[in-house]
Chains A and B, each alone.
Chain A
């Protein structure tokens, strides 16, 4: 992943970019890919203000690419297409599909299939009934999919590189969990037309690990849009490093006014637990674009973690004033209620978010958290599972699943899920500690020791710059003591002593604490047993002086003194 050179965009290049984005936005919107169109138009409008708008250059029809994406084979199809599109716009999907059935022009053909797909999705949502009900989830499938697959396969055989058809094919395959061919279709789609944001958006769901992203990057064209994708994919994988920051910088140079880029940056900060920075950026976004709801759910998560209740309430008010029935809004409100420990209410809001969009990831995860709070483990498991179905990169859901299974004492299950979470965030000590706890319960102390050691490497609390270090240790005394005790259990006292001593080393930084007392106590006993009475006495005395474990240490001091006296009777 060599960091790409900053795109030196001359004015002319900017002009071309502007034209391309404009065409792309129009194409997406003509195909009713509304979200992609919105994104593209947003980026289009966040280009620097001083881009010369060469009138003729932008308006000239002849400058349209000759790839057949914009033309109709005849007027008849064009009229039909307009009718279908207007039906689509009012959510009459089946009707729309029927109107353009059999059309061969790119736009009409795509609209036909897409409308069918949407009709199937709509029916699927309706048939799923209640969120988390018996019919929710994979049980209810989009019944149009097999037909669409077949049609798309025939159409793609004739018209090999229609980017939008390839996109739809990829989406359909993804819905059927057929990832390899889906990946190929999507990659083909972006290669043939990189400005197809819908495809990029879909492609990111396939990349499940940083390796995946790196591999994908090799297949992709070197293009401005590829960088957007790289940024998005890395962000979603919590893969924050200098290269990603450089990427944001470069893109921000081209699109200085892009709120989307800003929110990506805020999320990056969030992932490395730099909440203040993240909050700052979100505040900025809210000021510049007061009615923007995108990513607001993440903002509410940040505020939740920062325990800023009043600000969360404020954001919730803003959001619900803008649109009560957006999943983002519902999530913000749900978070607010969760913070007030009104878990039933918050569950209600998360459910509402899911009713609005069953693929809304953060709502699933948050719903799982709420169920955990209510000790409804099974519901929590189901919610987390759905979260993972939507996005396998959400370590919180994996971790939540692990926790839930741990509660149910299904340690193998728990371990597996913790491992998945750990694979996403190997430097997060929480994951490793959880894994180690599982190993302990499974009576595998060796494995537990290994996991604890890795937990020591975690430094999740430190600053962004060091976020991904694996060899930087935080001397977590609790973990050290656990390791030592486990070593004791497997009868390897040398190692046990080693870790207890390490624990003592932390004393100057942390001051006296219970863990250190435990370590001292343990060492005192150990030294005493080895008849190293001087050290033992010293440790016990230290303990006694610090006022920790008074009873025990006093007894030990007396005991050791007696022994010393016995060995070297005072004259």
Chain B
């Protein structure tokens, strides 16, 4: 037992590093690239938040720091255990329940037992209690450590694609074993993170000093050999030796270890069958866990669920539980891991709500169950409120308790900050900033890629693509195949229209990482950028088949339909995304946008309200809502909404270019309210920040026309037509404007040689031509200057009339500018 315990206890230490590894194998976060939506021109922002900072291990040093800290904690644990273990009524369940003998902590015992036994582990049962006595506490501790770590370790494996990463994992495990079981494995293995096997000198010494029997030496030799083989990824020899070792010792630990090796070689069936054969499953939690995991790997979800039992443990009061002590805590770790596995199974079965609950339970039981936390955040399973509520429910204090003292306090803070950076950025951005500040000032994590990535995502959410891209690129320069980075990277490149870079990047990915869904998303994004929607769709769909919970793929898939105007298909694709990612408002918002395009204002409103409920800080969502108001003729509300959106956008400090749409829409709203001056101002502003669309010019023309500035109107309309020569609205407006201008009197200024100016009226010319002698001018021919003046007024009156007429026709037909609004939306 000790063996195993130690073995896994390493994992607690490495959670972080293994997490990093996992992240390396990375599935991207769904949402970031969700942003791809920007396709629709209305760059919506992303909830990029979910991106996590999960891993601490951007740099070696950091990992080391953490490890050391962990070790310290482990030491503390030990003492706790000693005090509390025995009295606890529940004790270690495994210990109690299982008839399995705990393996002797020291080689000598094993040897002895080996002497008289068959391979069955049961045989060993008897000696165990005895053995335990010499050093009960330490043993307990080991066991507990073992279990919890093991679970986490296995989770890692499960999640990873079991390729290189997994192998690495294994490598690390044993290497750690080396530390803890110096005696039994006695191998010095370089740990992935280069941490020196500091423990070696300590424990082994103690243990060694206890006994030295030749059998032990033999066993030790074999274990070393096995470990060495594993470290070298020579699994065949590891299996060979492991098998022999098992035969010698008949130790359940060795059995378990062998199962582990089978598992790592990807022979899940064999691992399962082997575990079946040992009969350890019901007795030992790690075995049960491994067993379930093997089943999951074989897609036998139902069976796995049976193995695990579908009852989540009830945690009535986690705080109390925690306080009961470490032994209890260790047990919880198993529970947490199994809860997590349940979540995985539910996800696979499509029962997302149950899965969500399972994940949440897992984290609540053990906050170190990062897998579950990560899954929750990465896939946006929680709405932002839920997330913050959830994080407040998590019991970080248990950390403090387990570490103890000021150290514990710091650890709690540290962990809390780390987790906070993973949360949705829709809410409490101040807390988010605090967390970042803490991590970068008190710990040397400012340059850590998780922290930087969180920043990049925040920037992306705020539509500051250039800056975001810069950060991501810096990260990529350090760690080129960190797939976590790619969704943001792709999305930024897409937003900025950097075709070429996207092309190169997706080719690189396609050459090297065909197994990653993000590769296909990159290719899809590229095709989308060059307007080959059919191809884009193919690749997005491929990505989503590879990983159905990969958000960017779904949303990109939906975008291809939206871009083609296939609203119904787009809606169903977005709906699928909405079901998968409940924590982000994006799918809802896209749904609203699609309905808006289909002119289902009511439905659109509903969806947008849902999105609004999820996220109140997305300026572009405010834009959509404003448009809904606009269409419902609530113009004042629309204006208010647009203004708020602009304000928000200003606060965020995003690229003003992104907010062209706001200005334009605000201008339209003003226009409909008859506030033409303000409308023109807004349009002008929009043009200054980069809007150069016929629609804007055309609207300006309309406003000028309404205000009676016919000449300005003609100018604007000409601009519009020079952008889109066949624009029907502009053409018609221009016609009207020209007709109107033909009705207006045209009396240019004459400049005389002395530099003075004169505006002669028609009457003056009559006089010059000697025509004033005719006393009876036609009514249409005003003959006195006074009359000319009044004639001008008449012109104004007429102009107004014409204006009214124009407005009338506008009303009659579908208001073109309204159409424009929605067009530009998408």
Which residues of A line the B interface, CB within 8 A? 1, 3, 137-139, 141, 145-147, 149-150, 173, 176-178, 181, 209-211, 239, 241-243, 385, 389, 412-413, 415-416, 419, 422-423, 426-427, 435, 442, 446, 449-450, 453-454, 456-457, 465-471, 473, 490, 492, 494-495, 498-499, 502
Is A138 a contact of B722 with CB atoms below 8 Å? yes
Which single member of A173, A239, A473, A498 contacts B751 (CB below 8 Å)?
Answer: A239
Query: B754 contacts the other chain (Cβ, under 8 Å)?
Result: yes
Cβ contacts under 8 Å, A494 to chain B: 774
CB distance from B190 to the nearest CB of A (A): 43
Cβ contacts under 8 Å, B741 to chain A: 416, 419
CB distance from B167 to the nearest CB of A (A): 44
CB distance from A236 to the nearest CB of B (A): 14
In the complex, 26 of the A-B residue pairs with CB atoms within 8 angstroms, ordered by the A residue number, are A138-B692, A138-B723, A139-B722, A139-B723, A141-B692, A176-B688, A210-B749, A210-B751, A241-B752, A242-B753, A242-B755, A243-B755, A385-B718, A412-B742, A415-B738, A416-B741, A426-B748, A426-B749, A426-B750, A446-B778, A450-B765, A453-B765, A457-B768, A471-B764, A494-B774, A502-B769
Query: B687 contacts the other chain (Cβ, under 8 Å)?
Result: yes
Is A469 a contact of B753 with CB atoms below 8 Å? yes
Query: B351 contacts the other chain (Cβ, under 8 Å)?
Result: no
Cβ contacts under 8 Å, B690 to chain A: 145-146, 149
**How far, in whole Å, are A342 and B188 apart by their CA atoms in the complex?**
92
CB distance from B687 to the nearest CB of A (A): 6
Cβ contacts under 8 Å, A457 to chain B: 765, 768
**How far, in whole Å, are A275 and B751 apart by their CA atoms in the complex?**
22
**How far, in whole Å, are A1 and B766 apart by their CA atoms in the complex?**
30
Apart from the given pairs A415-B738, A498-B769, 8 other A-B contacts in the complex at a CB distance below 8 Å? A3-B755, A149-B688, A243-B754, A385-B722, A453-B769, A465-B753, A470-B758, A498-B771
Interface string of B714-744 (1 = CB under 8 A from A): 1000110011000000000001001101100
- Residue of A181, A209, A241, A422 with highest tally of chain B CB at under 10 A: A241
**Given A243-B755, A385-B722, A495-B774, A453-B762 contact (CB < 8 Å):** yes
Which single member of B684, B689, B748 contacts A423 (CB below 8 Å)?
Answer: B748
Query: B277 contacts the other chain (Cβ, under 8 Å)?
Result: no
Is B766 a contact of A137 with CB atoms below 8 Å? no
Which chain A residue lies CB-closest to B724? A139
Query: B798 contacts the other chain (Cβ, under 8 Å)?
Result: no
**Given A146-B689, A243-B755, A498-B774, A468-B738 contact (CB < 8 Å):** no
Is A412 a contact of B739 with CB atoms below 8 Å? yes
**How far, in whole Å, are A413 and B655 apart by their CA atoms in the complex?**
40
**Given A176-B692, A470-B750, A494-B774, A450-B762 contact (CB < 8 Å):** yes
**Given A178-B687, A415-B742, A471-B768, A150-B755 contact (CB < 8 Å):** no
Query: B115 contacts the other chain (Cβ, under 8 Å)?
Result: no
**How far, in whole Å, are A470 and B692 apart by their CA atoms in the complex?**
42
Is B688 a contact of A181 with CB atoms below 8 Å? yes
Interface string of B768-781 (1 = CB under 8 A from A): 11110010001011
Is A470 a contact of B760 with CB atoms below 8 Å? yes
Is A146 a contact of B752 with CB atoms below 8 Å? no
Cβ contacts under 8 Å, B719 to chain A: 138, 177
Which single member of A137, A176, A210, A454 contacts B757 (CB below 8 Å)?
Answer: A210
Cβ contacts under 8 Å, A419 to chain B: 741, 746
**How far, in whole Å, are A9 and B742 apart by their CA atoms in the complex?**
52
Which single member of A176, A239, A422, A456 contacts B769 (CB below 8 Å)?
Answer: A456
Which chain A residue lies CB-closest to B757? A210
Cβ contacts under 8 Å, A210 to chain B: 749, 751, 757
Cβ contacts under 8 Å, B718 to chain A: 385
Is A446 a contact of B781 with CB atoms below 8 Å? yes
**How far, in whole Å, are A495 and B657 apart by their CA atoms in the complex?**
62
Cβ contacts under 8 Å, B657 to chain A: 146-147
* Closest 10 pairs (CB-CB, A-B): A146-B690, A470-B750, A412-B738, A426-B748, A423-B748, A453-B765, A243-B755, A138-B722, A241-B753, A450-B762
Which single member of A442, A468, A490 contacts B778 (CB below 8 Å)?
Answer: A490
Cβ contacts under 8 Å, B751 to chain A: 210, 239, 241, 468
Which chain A residue lies CB-closest to B750? A470
Interface string of B688-725 (1 = CB under 8 A from A): 11101000000000000000000000100011001100
Query: B656 contacts the other chain (Cβ, under 8 Å)?
Result: yes
Which single member of B687, B742, B754, B774 contacts A177 (CB below 8 Å)?
Answer: B687
Cβ contacts under 8 Å, A426 to chain B: 748-750
Is A137 a contact of B762 with CB atoms below 8 Å? no
CB distance from A541 to the nearest CB of B (A): 27
Which chain A residue lies CB-closest to B734? A413
Which single member of A173, A422, A465, A469 contacts B746 (CB below 8 Å)?
Answer: A422
**Given A1-B755, A465-B753, A173-B765 contact (CB < 8 Å):** no
Cβ contacts under 8 Å, B765 to chain A: 450, 453-454, 456-457
**Given A177-B719, A446-B781, A490-B778, A422-B748 contact (CB < 8 Å):** yes
**How far, in whole Å, are A435 and B742 apart by their CA atoms in the complex?**
10
**How far, in whole Å, are A155 and B491 apart by their CA atoms in the complex?**
30
CB distance from A128 to the nearest CB of B (A): 13
Cβ contacts under 8 Å, A469 to chain B: 752-753
Interface string of B132-163 (1 = CB under 8 A from A): 00000000000000000000000000000000
**How far, in whole Å, are A146 and B660 apart by their CA atoms in the complex?**
11
**Given A242-B755, A495-B771, A137-B722 contact (CB < 8 Å):** yes
CB distance from A11 to the nearest CB of B (A): 32
CB distance from B768 to the nearest CB of A (A): 6
Cβ contacts under 8 Å, B752 to chain A: 241, 468-470
- Residue of A138, A242, A469 with highest tally of chain B CB at under 10 A: A138
- Residue of B687, B690, B753, B781 with highest tally of chain A CB at under 10 A: B753
Which chain A residue lies CB-closest to B660? A146
Which chain A residue lies CB-closest to B775? A494
- Residue of B748, B750, B764, B768 with highest tally of chain A CB at under 10 A: B748
CB distance from B547 to the nearest CB of A (A): 36
Which chain B residue lies CB-closest to A210? B751
**How far, in whole Å, are A498 and B768 apart by their CA atoms in the complex?**
13
Which chain B residue lies CB-closest to A498? B771
List CB contacts (< 8 Å) of B606-659 with chain A.
655-657
Which chain A residue lies CB-closest to B685? A178
CB distance from B720 to the nearest CB of A (A): 9
**How far, in whole Å, are A442 and B739 apart by their CA atoms in the complex?**
11
Cβ contacts under 8 Å, B781 to chain A: 446, 449-450
Is B738 a contact of A416 with CB atoms below 8 Å? yes
Which single member of A241, A413, A423, A454 contacts B738 (CB below 8 Å)?
Answer: A413
CB distance from B310 to the nearest CB of A (A): 57
**How far, in whole Å, are A176 and B762 apart by their CA atoms in the complex?**
38
**How far, in whole Å, are A300 and B411 apart by their CA atoms in the complex?**
85
Is B766 a contact of A453 with CB atoms below 8 Å? yes
Cβ contacts under 8 Å, B755 to chain A: 1, 3, 241-243
Is B689 a contact of A467 with CB atoms below 8 Å? no
Cβ contacts under 8 Å, B770 to chain A: 498, 502
**How far, in whole Å, are A129 and B746 apart by their CA atoms in the complex?**
40
Which chain B residue lies CB-closest to A149? B688
CB distance from B660 to the nearest CB of A (A): 9
CB distance from B777 to the nearest CB of A (A): 9
**How far, in whole Å, are A138 and B720 apart by their CA atoms in the complex?**
9
**How far, in whole Å, are A150 and B752 apart by their CA atoms in the complex?**
44
Cβ contacts under 8 Å, B762 to chain A: 450, 453-454
CB distance from A501 to the nearest CB of B (A): 10
Cβ contacts under 8 Å, A1 to chain B: 755
CB distance from A408 to the nearest CB of B (A): 13
Cβ contacts under 8 Å, A456 to chain B: 765, 769
Is A446 a contact of B768 with CB atoms below 8 Å? no
